[in-house]
Amino acid sequence: MTVDAASYLAGAGLGASLIVAIGAQNAFVLRQGLKRRHVGIVVAICALIDVLLIGLGVGGMGALISRAPVLLDVIRWAGAAFVFLYGLRAFIAAWRGPGHLNASDSESQTAIGAASTVLALSLLNPHVYLDTVVLLGGIGAQRGWPGNAWFAAGAMCSSIIWFTALGYGARLLEPWFEKDVSWRVLDVIVGCVMWWIAAALAFSR
């Protein structure tokens, strides 16, 4: 198969512009990275979801999703409720404190719990399907073979690189989070982001 660098770079650029935007998924990955808890599982799930959805979109699933407004509405309301509750949890954590986490912290979180949370934050957001399946998939599918495959590969690589960098690069910010107040601020920011997303989902049409 001939390398189509233009299609690959186009997919990588568009994919990065959609993935890097601040959202519930990125906020959770960042926090897990700072806590150094189940980072590999969380990063792998996020990247795998994007890879699968991009592949489905380029394969033609985007047209089907765009014709299912009822399904998107169900996902939208379920996602709004979940994100609202997660934001509330972040605000409560900021209020109670302390937020300082280290290797000796007694707070426990199972791998299943982390995986379940990131799955919900990822799949209960209709914009995930609109961005990866409908938008990326629709644009990529127009390129024809093998340009569509290279476009999808570029978008997939952007997702894998971003989530890996976000999850494992978060530890570089640890000096800023040596004080409890830093964790309180982070929780407040996460709470605000979650509630903003919940409002956007609830009032979007």
First vs last Cα of the chain: how many Å apart? Answer: 42
Average pLDDT of every residue of the chain: 84
Cβ 161 vs Cβ 169: under 8 Å: no
Q: What is the mean pLDDT of residues 129-138?
A: 82
pLDDT for the residue 45:
97
| pLDDT score of 101 | 47
Q: Is the pLDDT of residue 46 over 60?
A: yes
- The pLDDT assigned to 22 comes to 66
Summarised one tens digit per residue, pLDDT across range 20-43 is 776 788 989 998 999 899 999 999
**How many Cα atoms sit within 13 Å of 17 on the Cβ side?**
8
pLDDT number for residue 72? 72
DSSP 134-195: IIIHHHHHTT-TTHHHHHHHHHHHHHHHHHHHHHHHGGGGGGGGSSHHHHHHHHHHHHHHHH
**Residue 171 neighbours by CB under 8 Å, 6+ apart:** 33, 34, 36
Q: What number of other Cβ atoms are within 10 A of residue 165's Cβ? A: 13
* Average pLDDT over every residue of 57-64: 75
Q: Which residue has the higher pLDDT, 8 or 18?
A: 8
- The reported pLDDT for the residue numbered 119 is 95
The full set of domain ranges for the chain reads 5-203
Mean per-residue pLDDT, 154-166: 95
pLDDT digits (tens, 9 = 90+) for 89-98: 889 988 887 5
Closest Cα partner for 51 from 147, 164, 139, 133? 133
- d(C-alpha 187, C-alpha 99), whole Å: 8
User: Which pLDDT belongs to residue 40?
Assistant: 96
Q: Which long-range contacts (CB under 8 A, 24 or more apart) does 46-49 make?
A: 46/118, 46/122, 46/159, 46/163, 47/159, 47/160, 47/163, 47/164, 49/119, 49/122, 49/123, 49/128
Cβ atoms of 122 and 128 within 8 Å: the answer is: yes
pLDDT attached to residue 65: 65
* Nearest residue to 47 via CA among 169, 109, 132: 132
Lowest model confidence (mean pLDDT) among 40-49, 72-81, 150-159: 72-81
Average pLDDT over residues 99-115: 65
With b for 16 or more beta-carbon neighbours within 10 A and e for fewer, the 167-179 pattern comes to beebeeeeeebee
Which is more confident, 88 or 135? 88
**What is the CA 112 to chain-centroid distance, rounded?**
18
- Return the CA Rg of the chain: 18
Q: Is the pLDDT of residue 139 over 90?
A: no
